Every structure is written in structure tokens, then in C-alpha cells.
Chain A
Amino acid sequence: MSDHILELLSAYIDGELHGGQLRKVEAHLDECQSCLEEYYSLQALSATLHAAPVPDFPSPERLAADVALRLPRKPVKPMSRRALEIGWWLAPVGLIVAWIFVSTTILVSNAVTAAGDFGLLDSASAWLVAGSSGANYSAFLGQFGLLAGNSLQWAEMTEAFTRTAVPQITWQVSIALLYLSWLAIWWTRHTRQGLGGPFDSGGRPTVK
């Protein structure tokens, strides 16, 4: 008895055999009863499967699109609210830049004044540092004898201090207070609303 051809039956049923293999299977089925029964059995199974309805599997692209559509979406904020929000976050940055600008101006101004007073700027000093050591009210009063000697000197020093230091302090304290106000408002909003600001993001918290 020849060898059985069970391993070729599936391909035979699907019509995938050609030439010598096809002739070999057909010849074997004519003379082997067990293989013929196996052939009928497989043919019946194939017919059953073909007759069954095909399930409607979506394509991967379709599945991804469906999932994305079901995810919660960020509500679109109106333009005015977005502008307000950007302004809210730009305010402290603006204050920091303003503070740097004021500090730099004061620093350079003091350096120029000092250089002018030491005569290092020569002819340019009159134009650059005008008013730094010019006439003041104390000197004006001194001309009329209202202030003299040590009193005049103290008055001039106090006036010069008031003229230079007080505006500098006022500027910097104002900026600091504005910044602290922003921080206080942010803190209050944050504590009242919890998370929900524009910079909030999810993720696993590590802080206990």
C-alpha cells in the first residue's frame, strides 16, 4: 500500500495543487478508502465554514478613529478667555523683565554718575550726567543764608539721597508687591479650584 496523502488534502481542496502532486493525490484517492473519507470530511468542514456569515471586524485605522472620538475632549475656550489667560501668565514674566530693566538702568546710571563725578568722562560728563551734581534746593536755600555749614551739607546729602535712592527703592518695592499680589491670587485660585489651571497635567503623582 502506498503512503497516505493526508497532509496534501487541504491544499487539494483549496485547488492549490498542480502537476505531479495533483495527479498523485487523485490517484491515491481512487484506491485509498481512509484518505477518501478524510477528504469528504474536510470538504464538508470547508463548505460549512464558507457558508457561515463573516464577522464585521473594523480596520485598525477605523478602530483608532473610533477610540479617539470616544475620548473626552478639551472644551474650546473663547478667544477673549484665552487672551486673558495668556495675559495672566505673562504678567509675572513682565514684572521680572521690568525688574531686571529697572535694576540694570539704576546700575548703569550710578556707574555713569560715579564716572562723571570722578572726571573720567571729561567733556561728555556735562551732557551725560547733567543734574547729578547740579543745583539743588538745599544749595538754593544756602544762597540766602537759610542753611549754612554742617546743616547745609547734611541737607544736601539728605536731598541727594532722596533724589537717587528713594525712587530706586520705590520702583523695586512696587514691582515686588505686584509680584506678590499675583502669587497670592494664583495661590487662592489654586486652593479654591484645585487642579484646573492651564498648566495642569495628569500623571502619577510622586509627592506623598
Chain B
Amino acid sequence: MDPVKILKRAWHILWSYRALWVFGLILALTAAGSSGGNGNNGARFSGDSSNQSYEAPLPENWREEISKAFAEAGKEFSRILEDGLPALGISKGELTALLWVGAVFVLVMLVVGLVMTIARYVSETAVIRMVDEYEATDTKMTVRQGFRIGWSRTSWRLFLINLIVNIPVFLLLVVMGVAGFVIYTMVAGQSGDFAVAGIVGAIGVVFLAIFVVVILSIFLGLLRHFFWRVCALENVGVGESLRRGFTLVRENWKNVGLMWLVMIGLGIAWMLVSIIAIILTIPIVAITAIIGALVAAIPGLLLVGLFSTFLNGYLPWIVGGLFVLPLFFTLAFSPWVLLTAWQQVYASTVWTLTYREIKALPAETPEMEIGPVGD
């Protein structure tokens, strides 16, 4: 297998097959960061604690203080519901209306989230199948055809595979929760050195858990590329995809490993390139931000008009703005979304080509035993 040839071919497909960009845009809006395609989405620097030294330590009886604060907050909330917020000019009726609007907002966001999740897996399936079809028959599909082959039971299976692959992360959360509880118990127990030893032990467990789970997640993320492709291209169930995908990777671990190392390197290079690209495209983003503001203003004004029927003053503007903010951000940052879309399509194409290449390799058989040659 020649990784460089695969990378060059994927590059060619990215620029010559524009219908893939549409699905890349959907992936960029819905899946960026979770299926980067290389198991390495760049170094994430943790927030520094530079200003934490200015935080005043909590008082000795902080547990009682927190309970009292919660009780007071509850009372205050009840009072606000009764009287509204006179200081901000919000009456009781307006507050009730605001709470309803908030509930509608959450509902809308949930629906949008659901639609985006469906769109993500349909797009994943479409990109994999479109690239495979192009390689097999040299025919390019339209966006409509792409949606047609993406909208299938396979996209649901891809979702389930992703869910299974992410199980270690859930386990990490459980371990960290238990460790947090241990730390709390140790501190609450006030047992001196024992508390210190317990905390150190819990921190060690958390460290080990994160370390192991990150490695495991990277490995499972690599396997996921093949699980997905077996599922989408061989049209088999989840269990069978996992089994065949694992066998495929095990039998070709050298080729898969090499491709993975190369893709991680490209991921790092992409991170550096994207930082430069983001800086260079700031003027374009400024223009798209103006366009985004103009486009988002239309539904925004309609919403403001709607909310004005039961809200007064500046509240309809704030609430209306909140609803159209996602639309504005999508349009304003569309150049950066496009960059991510290309990255998504390229990574997916590389793994589809790798899968095809590996499938075409002759199956490895155990070496034949050669006995002594007699006369």
C-alpha cells in the first residue's frame, strides 16, 4: 500500500468532486472535532490558572454556607416569580412569558440538535459511498443522489457504532465521579494525613484513567473508520461491522498503523495551516459577518415583532437576537466552516481509499513450511 498515492488521490477527489463539499459543510457544522479522521484534533491547551491565586479561599464552614446560599436562592427565585424584576423593569407577566420563551428555545435547540445528528450520519454515509462509487465506476453523483444513498438504515448503524466506540469516555466520567466522591469524603472526614494519602491516590487514579482512556479512545477512533466503512460499503449490521472491521485492521495492522501515523502528522500540519488561514481570512469573515447580520436580521425582526406582543422594552430584541444568533454565526464564520468542511471530506476520503486498498490486498496466509529436499 502506498500512503502517499492515497493522499494525493484524496486531494484530487476533494477538488474535483464538488458535490462532496455540501456534505462536508454539514459535517463541519455537526461533527467537527468528533470525527476529525485522524484521532488527533490538535493540542488543546488547558486554561491556565494564572488568576486563580486571586480567588479567596472558601470559609471554614463552607458546606453550611453553600446550603444556606441554596436556600436563599430558592427563596429569592420564589420572590422573583411573585414580583418580577422591578429593577430591570420586568413585570411578573413578562417574566412568565420569558420563561415560556426559554422553554420554547430549549425545545427548538433540542429539535435542531436532533436534525443535525441525523444530518451528520446521513452525510457520513453519503461521503463514504460517493467516494467508493467514484473509485469503482468513475461516476460522480449529484447532491440529491448523495442524499438518497446516505438516507438509509446504514446511517443509523453508524450512529450506533459511534455510540459503542464512545463507551470508554462514559466510563471515564464514572471513574472521575467516583474519584471526586472519594476526594470529597476524605476532605469531609478531616482525618489529616489519611486525607492527603486518599487525595493523592484518587488523583493518581484519575490520572491513570484519563491516560488509558485517551489512548483507548484514539485506538477505537482508528477502528471506527473501518467499522463505518465495512457497515456502509458492505451493508452489514453493527455486530458484523465491528467483527469484520477489527479483523481487517488486525490482518493489516502495519498498513493501517502507517496510515494512522501519517494522518496524525497531517492533523498537526493542518492545525498550523488552519491557524494561519483563520488569521488570513479575517477580512473575508468581516464581510460574511455583515452579510450574516443582514440575512439574520429578517427572521430576527419577525421574531422581535412576535415577541413584542407579550414583552416590552428591550426584551423582544434580546430574545429575538438569541434565536437568530446560531444563523448569524453560521453565516459569519462560513469561510472557517468551509475550511473545516474540506478537512472533513479529505479525511473521510483518505480512509475510504485506505479501506479499498486494504480490501484489495491479498489475504495474508501463514508461511508454508519448507521441508528438506530429498533426491
**Which residues of A pack against B, CB within 8 Å?**
61-62, 64-66, 68-69, 92-93, 96-97, 99-101, 103-108, 110-115, 117-124, 127-128, 132-133, 156-157, 160-161, 163-165, 168-169, 172-173, 175-176, 179-180, 182-183, 186-187, 190-191, 195, 198-208
Contact = CB atoms under 8 A, between A and B. Distances in A.
B370 A169 contact: no
B187 interface: yes
B356 A133 contact: no
A73 to B, nearest CB: 11
Nearest to A195: B2
Given A103-B43, A123-B192, A207-B135, 20 more contacts: A66-B373, A92-B264, A92-B265, A107-B46, A108-B203, A110-B49, A112-B203, A115-B183, A120-B58, A132-B53, A160-B53, A161-B48, A169-B45, A173-B43, A176-B272, A182-B265, A183-B269, A200-B1, A206-B353, A207-B353
Contacts of B362: 202-203
A130 to B, nearest CB: 12
Looking at chain B's contact residues, the main secondary structure is: helix
A106 B46 contact: yes
B190 interface: yes
Contact of B52 (A106, A113, A124, A207): A113
A128 B207 CA distance: 15
A64 B215 CA distance: 45
A72 to B, nearest CB: 14
Interface string B84-95: 000000000000
B43, B51, B374 — which one has the most chain A CB atoms within 10 A of its CB?
B43
Interface of B: 1-6, 9, 40, 43-53, 55, 57-58, 62, 135, 183, 186-187, 190, 192, 195-196, 199-200, 203, 206-207, 210-211, 214-215, 218, 254-255, 257-258, 261-262, 264-266, 268-269, 271-272, 353, 356-357, 359-362, 368, 370-371, 373-374
A150 to B, nearest CB: 13
B5 A205 contact: yes
A124 B199 CA distance: 8
Nearest to B132: A206
B195 to A, nearest CB: 6
Nearest to B357: A206
